A = this chain, B = another copy of it.
Amino acid sequence: MSSDRLIYMPLGGAGEIGMNAYVYGYGPKGKERLILVDLGVTFPDMDSSPGVDLIFPDIQWLADRREQLEAVFITHAHEDHVGAVAHFYEQLGAPVYARAFTANIARRKMEEFGYSEKAVRVVSPWPEVTKVGPFTVGFVPISHSIPESSGLVIDTPKGRVVHSGDFKIDANPVVGEPFDPELWASLAKPGVKALMCDSTNVFNTHAGRSESSLAEDIQALIAGAKGMVVATTFASNVARLKTLAEAADRAGRSVCLLGRAMRRMIEASVETGVLTSFPKTVSPEEAKDIPRENLMLIVTGSQGERRAASAQLAQGNYLGLSMKEGDMFLFSSKTIPGNERGVIKIMNQFSEMGVDVVDDSDGKYHVSGHANRPDLEKLHDLLQPQIVVPMHGEHRHLREHVKLANSKRMQGVLAVNGTMVDLTGNRAEICDYVETGRTYLDGSVKIGALDGIVRDRIRMALNGHVTVNVILDEEDEPLGEPWCEIKGLPETGNSRAPLVDVLEEDLGQFLGRAGAKVLTDDEKLEDALRKIARQSAQNEIGKRPEVTVVISRLAE
């Protein structure tokens, strides 16, 4: 037994924001019993992952050890924590544990894949605990921007670890449990060996603001509006939906929720009893008959997502509803870095309609769901862990959080994805590095981020594409002229002749003088034709396109 060790290893979320996945292990080296905390996704972008549908952590290490895996625990129902549970359920073959609201969302995902609701087990909050293998795990309510978020208390024979999950310190979160300092302080009684801690807002030096602080400004804004009001926020922020809807209600407006994600969240909140009061809502059909000054829509698409309700309203119409001069659109949200262009685009589309757009630039209509630096310190102080392992953050956030921990005489450990940390002794030690990466869901196929598939797409986007077609007869002699087709390239270049003519001319000249050594060798011929097509295009249009060479041999 003395050779048993306690390990921690992030597979996703440490060194990036998104796709959280954290492994804990206990047992003899290499034979540890394992649990996984969270299994989220992140979202693709045109710059680095065009055409990709979802991004997952690379869980190969864990899948290779599925016999050692006891369970998956989900801290809360945000996509970057729960989004991948169904995609990997079969591969991991372990039960999923979550509190009721989170489980409700997770089960909807499981259903889409045809899994039974038994795949997800509902647990009650601390002090109730779940024992799996050597681990005793409790879900401790913590405030965040979605109902029933929890930190985990993970007790092991080598001591207690606390996994904060995403959190903020909010005494009045509008929906769900307030942050309870006494409860959190009580967790420290037996001593906390290590705190794995949310890091996203470590650079923000102001104390976080309560969700409840928004109600007054939102009410004033909506009370003063003349035409229709449309507000968008993160669909999962049920507290915000409530604040917005109540403000509408007080202003004598009917509320209509638009967007699948939003309705799903409200449904889950009602089904699980998280949401006990919410103003009566009307359907889109009913909304059409309500005078616009008596109507408020709450819609998905705060990040400018192309298919969401807000983007469709910006295009002119969503389910028969449309905005016009004198209406107001409120972003009760922040723009996640990378989404600025999409958000600005819809702002300008609304502006063209004469709609007044209100965003959070004054800090009045949105608060973050994450702990700022002083709030992180507060959690440190309550739990007094020996070791702080920052998680959920880019490298710069983790590094800053380590510095913060060190400055307060706790050991800070910088562990990015794939870094295995041994927590057995009094000091944490990095004991291994595991190769990790990202897995893409591409259409219906899982591909590796480094497979070269997406790289080829990016190259076609940057350089365009030429197909070169050559037919060789039974004597390996060219039959007719080579033939090109272009895609994503200008039809004419510097010489004003059609680009395909220029390419075909240069390729034809080469074939005319090519000897048997090249003509009989597919690889050599393909290389030569590609090179000539690229050089010819470079001369003519100043670009080197991607080239597909198709050689057809009648001899075969």
* Residue A445 is within 8 A (CB to CB) of chain B in the complex: yes
C-alpha spacing A344/B489, complex, angstroms: 32
Spot the interface stretch: A226-234, A237-245, A509-517, A542-550: A542-550
B461 lies within 8 A of A461 (CB): yes
A50 lies within 8 A of B462 (CB): yes
B45 lies within 8 A of A50 (CB): no
Task: Report A435-457 residues with CB < 8 Å from chain B CB.
Answer: 442-445, 447, 451, 453-454, 456-457
* Residue A493 is within 8 A (CB to CB) of chain B in the complex: yes
Number of interface residues of A (CB under 8 A): 66
Task: List B contacts of A457 (CB < 8 A).
Answer: 460-462, 464, 487-488
Task: List B contacts of A542 (CB < 8 A).
Answer: 442-445
Task: List B contacts of A224 (CB < 8 A).
Answer: none
Chain B CB count within 10 A is highest, among A347, A461, A464, A490, for A461
* Residue A467 is within 8 A (CB to CB) of chain B in the complex: yes
A471 contacts which of B48, B465, B490, B552 (Cβ < 8 Å)? B552
Task: List B contacts of A493 (CB < 8 A).
Answer: 443-445
C-alpha spacing A246/B148, complex, angstroms: 54
- Knowing A203-B361, A445-B542, A550-B550, say if A51 contacts B488 (CB, 8 Å): yes
Contact with B along A342-369 (1 / 0, CB 8 A): 0010011011101001000100000000
A394 lies within 8 A of B554 (CB): no
A458 lies within 8 A of B456 (CB): no
Chain B's nearest CB lies how many Å from the CB of A534?
A: 12
* Residue A340 is within 8 A (CB to CB) of chain B in the complex: yes
A543 lies within 8 A of B51 (CB): yes
Spot the interface stretch: A30-38, A168-176, A281-289, A478-486: A478-486
C-alpha spacing A456/B451, complex, angstroms: 23
Task: List B contacts of A396 (CB < 8 A).
Answer: 347-348, 350-351, 357
Closest to A549 in B: B485
Task: List B contacts of A203 (CB < 8 A).
Answer: 361
A469 lies within 8 A of B552 (CB): yes
* Residue A190 is within 8 A (CB to CB) of chain B in the complex: no
B471 lies within 8 A of A487 (CB): no
* Residue A1 is within 8 A (CB to CB) of chain B in the complex: no
C-alpha spacing A471/B444, complex, angstroms: 32
The 4 closest A-B pairs by CB, nearest first: A443-B542, A444-B542, A461-B461, A443-B543
With A340-B340, A443-B543 given, name 5 new contacts (CB 8 A): A47-B47, A50-B461, A444-B541, A467-B548, A483-B552
Which A residues are closer than 8 A to B by beta carbons? Answer: 15, 45-48, 50-51, 203, 337-338, 340-341, 344, 347-348, 350-352, 354, 357, 361, 394-396, 399, 442-445, 447, 451, 453-454, 456-458, 460-465, 467, 469, 471, 479-480, 483, 485, 487-490, 492-494, 538, 541-543, 546, 548, 550, 552, 554, 556
